[in-house]
Amino acid sequence: MEFDFKETNTEAKTRRIKEAFYKLAEDVDLGRSYPEIVRCADELKKLESTSDEDSQEIAFLNLYCAIHGAGSQYSSNERLQLDEKKGYFNHPGGISPLMKAELFIQPESVAADLGAGNGLQGLLFQYLYPHRLTIQIELSAEMIRIGQQFQDILGIPSDKVEWINNDIIHIPLDAMDFLYLYRPSKPMENGVQLYQTISRKLQARKRALTIFSIADCLKDYLDSQFSVFYSDGHLTCFEKQGQSDPPE
């Protein structure tokens, strides 16, 4: 059954995301390393004084992509692991999942991003909807370093984000109740093994779970415990109901 998202406060959320982007763009050290972020931020600020909403939207998305791509580097060993799993290279998931997550990330939630890159998406979830913990799982140590820099600039407390530098296939998936991922691997060869392993871990857990999956590959591997409640061709959302413990 399709879920009818009633997105609320869209303008306020957009302003909040811009606020985060401008904080990052105004950081001197970050701007020195990534001048494209500064250039895109300056372009958006100029357009905000005009009535050209289409150009503003394009500039906003360009800034998002520039920030999302910062630190996209792998060591030779990390690149080997990525290639072995038929992994994709740091695709931005877009603004839509950020807008739609409000109903599913509560103050006590534990959210996780599988293949977090520099962690921008998970940090924005935390920035928009403060919650107990965001777990960022990423193979690239350099992207984690940049993400931790983002976190400091945005003023997100250290105990609100856990960074895990590892292959996602090795990570337990029973601690979180909101899971975000952007198609971490091609669904072929060892990539199939990755999705099979992730699905087995998710199916073995008893707790309720919401999954936001971009360019989804999970649907072919998850069992009937998981139902799709929304799909628009880009974002697919799953839910798993929690199971009660059997009586003693």
Identify whether 177 is part of a domain.
yes
Identify whether 25 is part of a domain.
no
DSSP 198-241: HHHHHHH--S-EEEEEET--STTT--TTEEEEEE-SSEEEEEEP
Which residues fall within 8 angstroms of residue 103, CB to CB, at 6 or more apart?
Answer: 5
Q: Strands, E, within the chain: which ranges?
A: 110-114, 133-138, 161-165, 178-182, 209-214, 226-231, 235-240
- Tell me the residue length of the chain: 248
Residue 96: predicted pLDDT: 93
Identify whether 204 is part of a domain.
yes
Partners of 135 in beta bridges: 112, 162
Q: Strands, E, within 5-152: which ranges?
A: 110-114, 133-138
Residue 195: predicted pLDDT: 86
Identify whether 66 is part of a domain.
no
Q: What is the CATH number of the domain that holds 188?
A: 3.40.50.150
Identify whether 49 is part of a domain.
no
Identify whether 67 is part of a domain.
no
Residue 148: predicted pLDDT: 98
Residue 1: predicted pLDDT: 47
Identify whether 161 is part of a domain.
yes
Residue 8: predicted pLDDT: 72
Identify whether 7 is part of a domain.
no
The domain total for the chain is 1
Contact 147, 119 (CB under 8 A): yes
CB atoms within 10 A of CB 194: 25
pTM score: 0.88
Query: Which domain range does residue 110 map to?
Result: 74-240
Which residues fall within 8 angstroms of residue 190, CB to CB, at 6 or more apart?
Answer: 84, 85, 86
Residue 78: predicted pLDDT: 55
Q: Mean pLDDT by 10-residue block, N- to C-terminus, for the chain (248 residues)?
A: 70 95 97 96 96 96 95 64 56 88 96 95 97 95 95 98 93 93 73 87 92 92 94 94 55
